[in-house]
Amino acid sequence: MADPVNGNARRAESVDIYAPQWRNFLFVAPYLFIFAAFLVFPLFWGIWLSFHKADTFSSGPFIGFGNYARLFRDGIFLQSIWNTFYFVFLTVPALALIGLFLALCLNRQTRSAAVLRTLFFSSSVLSVTIVTLIWRIVYIPDMGLLSMIYGFFGAKAPAFLSDPDIAMIGIAIATIWWCIGLPMMLFLSALQQIPQDIYEAAALDNANRWQTLRSITLPSIKRTFVLVVIIQIVFQFQLFGQAWLMTKGGPNNLTKPIVLYIYNTAFQRWDIGLGAAASEILFLLILVAAMAQFLLTRRKADA
Amino acid sequence: MTLRKLFLATISAATVMMASPSFAATELQVQRFFGACDADFGKNTDVSKAVGECGIITSLINKFAADNPDIKVNVTTVEWPGYDQLTAQFASGDAPDIVTIHESALSDYQSKGLLLPLDDLLKTVGVTPDQFTGAAKEGATKDGKIYGLPIDNWTMLYHINMDLFKQAGLVNADGTPMLPKSPEEVLAQAEQFKQKTGKPYFVQNLANETALFTRNLYTYLFQQNSDFFADPKKVKFNTPEAKKVVEMYKAIYDKDYTTKNLDYAGAINAFLAGEGGVQLNGTWVVGDYNAQSEKPGTALNKGGYAVYPYPQLFSGAKAQYADGHTWAVSKKDRSPEQTAAIGKFLKFFADNDFEWSRTGHLPAYKAVIDSAKFKALPHRDTISAVATLGKPLPSQVQRQFAIQDIVGEEMSAAISGQKPVDKALADMESRVNELLANL
């Protein structure tokens, strides 16, 4: 630690490097500019648009909550909110539990564990286009991998892309396959931070593996678990690419998430005002999740 | 010193950049759908060797570029129909110079003043609207002006596997396929087909599809004289006529007279593999399917390939839903050289419309449609009738692609049993009207 008071006493001519200097603003200016131009400004512009009748090429009169009223009368919008929650419910617990399971299995210093860690993480580097392409090849009826496997046993493969009961599950499976890398890595880093001496103490107490897991490992990574769950909730709420590329939101809008609804209204129907209003609703939903993360993690830190 | 060097370097770089356009070729940004097939036709300039929409359009543009070394054509291929992208490009002021737009979508962009009226430009290169066919002229004209160079008119067709039709006993004495004349006959013939061949009568792409459903509905509403778009701002779908159509397709679905769960590419593969009798697909595959039928060992080569307009199932107008493709030009500040290059490009496509009509589309030019060369193309004797049968939606109806998605979604829900037919039609009507009321 520097000591500005003593430093000033010894060398009166030296500059206080901690004093506020306007030119230091230059260091943060590029970030602030981008933050303001691409986040703050669009945020307020979006709110402004949501209160106006506007299309892609012109904006019309102020209509108050008119767009919001239209949204909540629109069965498809309500369906898309439900779809989004259903998708989050399908993916987030699975990602957290499978991620934890993989991390527990692969948290060792062997070569095969290192190879498997890389393998399980490798799907995360793919773009959504590649991921959906791969899974379409798996799901596609009559020619896909799944129908080949089912065909081998003389059975008919489930139509993951078009059956109303399982289309969302199909998208969730592809998403879990795609996103499993990050939760696994977060859990691995948490596991590696648990001090080895606790395990040694447990071993001296003759604790078996199950007791060690329940009483030492799991409590030690509780905060990471909450972090993984909330990161994934925020991320999976924004489902778009997989649904658009695999099912286009069908059948009968059962896989249409909120972001795809926004895309449909704003960019295909040119109804920017309504799309902006739907975006604000999504913003509020994600805000709630983010606030929950903030509150939960703060409470743990205090404890 | 270094500062001076930097200054000089900047000046010289700027000079080079400013000077270069005068040496370089005129650039044209062309954006199109019709797919990508660079592996097969990326370098081909012999248009007569190309087959299918993608092959022919790629070869035509290659040929144009080869014939005009002073014009550099930059082609962007977009996924069909590409309007989400185009709208975003227009909104950000970055639209391509020339772009494929359906006649049914022209008015969306024209009504916002985004497209260049082409009458004057076309006149300078000797293309006049009286050279267009009636349907092409009507489709390309908005508010009395031409807003796209029409290159074709298209519609949906019955693509028939004659081998399976023969097995099913659905062939007339003269060797032509026996086609239904009423909704009841559709079901009866489909049942007979299923009994005799063990395969579904129809090959349809029903998975996450909207366009096919919508075109089927429009066609059979036209044939019942249902004026569902009498008011272009308010549609009537909740009608007995619409119910009849949806119930017919629902019966086809319920009785397994159709393939299910196939997407567009899957349906084409299934038809070419001989997995059903009739594929409902557009004019654009006629060229490809005919080429397949000439290849020994294919399912279409076995008993032949035939193609017909949709059968007349109702007693009203003889009509079926049709649309057309055009090249539209964005409104932009351009140099005279650029405008002239666009004129040349459009003229080239007007002159080569015969090559494009080999896809299966109907030509947009009287001279081509009346030519012996066109009539001599395979199957044109059976499908040329769509020139008089084809009927678009009223041109004032906006957002026809967004409407198509709504109609298709609701029809799909009704046909697959996710929604009662009445509820689907009521939802279809109210959703489309909500969209149109908020334009």
Cβ–Cβ gap B401/A268 under 8 Å: yes
Cβ–Cβ gap A270/B88 under 8 Å: no
Task: Count the neighbouring beta carbons within 10 Å of the beta carbon of residue A143.
Answer: 15
pLDDT at B11: 55
Backbone angles phi and psi of A260, in degrees to 5 = -70, -35
Surface-to-core class of residue A265, CB atoms within 10 Å of its CB (0-12 exposed, 13-18 middle, 19+ buried): buried
Q: How far is CA B163 from CA A143, B130, B269, B283, B302, in A?
A: 23, 43, 17, 21, 6
Q: Is the pLDDT of residue B228 over 60?
A: yes
Long-range contacts, stretch B65-70, CB < 8 angstroms, 24+ apart = B67/B348, B68/B341, B68/B344, B69/B25, B70/B25, B70/B26
Chain segment B16-41, per-residue pLDDT in tens: 444 444 456 899 999 999 999 999 99
Domain B155-322+398-437 has CATH 3.40.630.10: no
d(CA B421, CA A87): 28
Specify the higher pLDDT residue, A43 or A14. Answer: A43
Q: How far is CA B138 from CA B83, B98, B123, B284, in A?
A: 22, 20, 18, 21
pLDDT at A59: 81
d(CA A39, CA B213): 41
Q: Is the pLDDT of residue B437 over 60?
A: yes
- Across chain A, where does the E strand assignment appear? 52-55, 58-62
Residue A281: inside a domain: yes
Residue A61: inside a domain: no
CB-CB: which of B83, B112, B208 is closest to A247? B208
In A, which residues are within 8 Å of B272 by CB distance?
A: none
Chain segment A46-94, per-residue pLDDT in tens: 999 999 999 888 888 999 999 999 999 999 999 999 999 999 999 999 9
In A, which residues are within 8 Å of B401 by CB distance?
A: 268
d(CA A1, CA A125): 41
Which H or E run contains B26?
Answer: strand B26-32
Classify strands B202-203 and B278-282 as parallel, antiparallel or unpaired. Answer: parallel
Topology of the domain covering B2-150+325-384: D-Maltodextrin-Binding Protein; domain 2 (3.40.190)
**A5 close contact with B: CB closer than 8 A:** no
Q: How far is CA B352 from CA B48, B56, B328, in A?
A: 11, 10, 17
Q: What pLDDT band is residue A11 in, cutting at 50, 70 and 90?
A: low
Question: What are B284's two structure tokens?
Answer: 């654009």
Cβ–Cβ gap A57/B260 under 8 Å: no
Place of tokens 């930097």: B6
In A, which residues are within 8 Å of B439 by CB distance?
A: 55
Which H or E run contains B102?
Answer: strand B98-102
Place of tokens 């696994």: A184
d(CA B214, CA B204): 13
Q: Is the pLDDT of residue B15 over 70?
A: no
Are B170 and B222 in contact, with CB atoms under 8 Å apart? no
Q: How far is A165 from chain B (nearest CA, A)?
A: 10
CB-CB: which of B90, B266, B399 is closest to A142? B266
Q: Is the pLDDT of residue A256 over 70?
A: yes
Q: What pLDDT band is residue B176 in, cutting at 50, 70 and 90?
A: very high
> How many Cβ contacts (< 8 angstroms) between chains A and B?
81
- The residues near A69 (Cβ < 8 Å, ≥ 6 apart) are none
CB-CB: which of A164, A264, A271 is closest to B418? A164
- The residue-averaged pLDDT of B356-381 equals 94
Task: Count the neighbouring beta carbons within 10 Å of the beta carbon of residue A222.
Answer: 11
d(CA A262, CA A91): 21
| CA angle (B17, B18, B21) in 5-degree steps | 85
d(CA A186, CA A115): 17
Tell me what the pLDDT averaged over chain B comes to.
Answer: 92
**A25 close contact with B: CB closer than 8 A:** no
- The residue-averaged pLDDT of B135-158 equals 94
Q: How far is A150 from chain B (nearest CA, A)?
A: 16
Are B418 and B240 in contact, with CB atoms under 8 Å apart? no
Cβ–Cβ gap B438/A141 under 8 Å: no
Give the CATH number of the domain where residue A203 resides: 1.10.3720.10
Q: What pLDDT band is residue B8 in, cutting at 50, 70 and 90?
A: low
Are B403 and B363 in contact, with CB atoms under 8 Å apart? no
Alpha helices in A180-217 (DSSP H): 181-192, 196-204, 209-212
Cβ–Cβ gap B112/A57 under 8 Å: yes
Q: Which ipTM value was assigned to this complex?
A: 0.86
Residue A34: inside a domain: no
CB-CB: which of A143, A164, A267 is closest to B88? A267
Q: How far is A54 from chain B (nearest CA, A)?
A: 9
Number of domains in chain A: 1
Closest C-alpha to B311, from B203, B190, B219:
B219
Residue A10: inside a domain: no
Chain segment B80-115, per-residue pLDDT in tens: 999 999 999 999 999 999 999 999 999 999 999 999
In A, which residues are within 8 Å of B402 by CB distance?
A: 264, 268-269
- The residue-averaged pLDDT of A197-209 equals 90
**A270 close contact with B: CB closer than 8 A:** yes
Chain segment A179-197, per-residue pLDDT in tens: 999 999 999 999 999 999 9
Would you mind telling me the total number of residues written for chain A in this entry?
303
d(CA B427, CA B238): 9
Nearest CA in chain A to B435: A269
d(CA B108, CA B400): 9
Backbone angles phi and psi of A130, in degrees to 5 = -65, -45
What is the DSSP code (8-state) at residue B45? -
CB-CB: which of A161, A251, A267 is closest to B412? A251
Full domain range(s) for residue A83: 73-302
- In chain B, residues under CATH classification 3.40.190.10 are 2-150+325-384, 155-322+398-437
Residue A233: inside a domain: yes
Residue A282: inside a domain: yes
Q: How far is B254 from chain A (nearest CA, A)?
A: 15
Chain segment A98-127, per-residue pLDDT in tens: 999 999 999 988 999 999 999 999 999 999
Q: How far is CA B439 from CA A57, A59, B2, B341, in A?
A: 12, 11, 59, 35
Residue A107: inside a domain: yes
CB-CB: which of B91, B402, B427 is closest to A269? B402
- Helices A145-152 and A128-139 sit at what angle, rounded to 10 degrees? 30
Residue A267: inside a domain: yes
Euclidean distance between the first and final Cα of chain B, in Å? 62
